[in-house]
Amino acid sequence: MHRVAVIGASGFTGAELMRICASHPDLDVAVATGDSMAGREIAEMYPSLAAVCGDTRFVPYGSGVAAGCDLAFCALPHGASQSVVAELRNDVEHIVDLAADFRLDDPALYPVWYGEEHTVPELLAEFVFGLPELFRDTIGCAELVAAPGCYVTAAALALAPLVAGGAVEPTGIIVDAASGVSGAGRPPKANTTFCSVDEDFTAYGLLTHRHTPEIEMAVSRHAGADVQVLFTPHLAPMNRGILATCYARPASTAGSDEVLDLLADAYRGEPFVVVSERSPSTKATLGSNSVHLTARADPRTGWVIVIAALDNLVKGASGQAVQCANLALGIDETAGLGAAGVYP
């Protein structure tokens, strides 16, 4: 049994990590930090975890808090991981970061897309990008893993095989995606209250969303081509889920059957990828670590369309982090992770 620490356990992704680890045969949560909730029972904040957490309380983060653990998950807001990773390395052999602090390999991108300089750019090269279906070989036994964002996971898994296979052009790609409100995190915000979100559907981050360079980096790295993406995210009135609809210009005469076969061949044998003619839905992936994909080629308009659906808190965050942890620790990649969604 591997002892793990969840740094930032009081947020949605932290709570999801604890839920997944509770049924994991090889991961035991030994430490759950939550500075704003320190001293409070986990079950008081998340009654859904009462049966597995008992009277365990959140503890404050401090030097040596993860000592004796094999791995630490960092489920902190963007920017916070940069200040703790160097210290955590003294306590644990492996770190999986769920934030964007170490995803981009070029430090010059951080002030452009995140509005601030990276504080420890020398560590960027030490992190591997944690999208197993595309970069599994680099994650195995890795000490430092940066798990990608939810939008990035959906878009990259949808587009990478088609760009790599020469079916679509690498530039002029459009990604139109919608997310459930949990993607905005637990702390309340004016635009994520019930009255703001209910019966509403809105676009945000127009032309400037920070996941844009991450999508481009992930697809470019896998496909070996310079990819350009116009990404527009939307907020949907639902708790969980990502639905990404991606449009690209064809680079071949492949029809719908051929582009669908290209996806199917790329992910054959992948335990958490479903490729089908069915149009993916967020509810079909609810609570699972799976992503559902489909594709079409439209000769009338000259576009190829690829659609991906996933649960933003599982495959888009905590489930993917556990999948990476499994690989890094050398245990069964699927351990503790469900492929079937919860329905209805």
Catalytic residues: 150
Region of 53 (left: φ > 0; alpha: ψ -120 to 50; beta: rest) is alpha
Q: How far apart are CA 55 and CA 43, in angstroms?
A: 7
Which residues is 248 bridged to in the sheet? 304
Amino acid at 101: D
Q: How far apart are CA 191 and CA 184, in angstroms?
A: 10
Token pair recorded at residue 222? 């896998």
Residue with tokens 């582009």, as numbered in its chain:
259
Q: How far apart are CA 308 and CA 272, in angstroms?
A: 13
CB-based contacts of 109: which residues, under 8 Å, 6+ apart? 213
Q: Residue length, the chain?
A: 344
Asked whether 197 and 181 are in contact (CB, 8 A), the reply is: yes
H-type alpha helices, the chain: 12-22, 42-45, 50-53, 85-88, 109-113, 132-139, 150-164, 194-197, 212-223, 256-266, 319-329
Residue 226's CB is within 10 A of a number of other CB atoms, namely 10
Token pair recorded at residue 308? 């991906």
CA atoms within 13 A on the CB side of 192: 16
Asked whether 129 and 218 are in contact (CB, 8 A), the reply is: yes
Q: How far apart are the first and last CA of the chain?
A: 34
Asked whether 5 and 64 are in contact (CB, 8 A), the reply is: no
Asked whether 66 and 31 are in contact (CB, 8 A), the reply is: yes
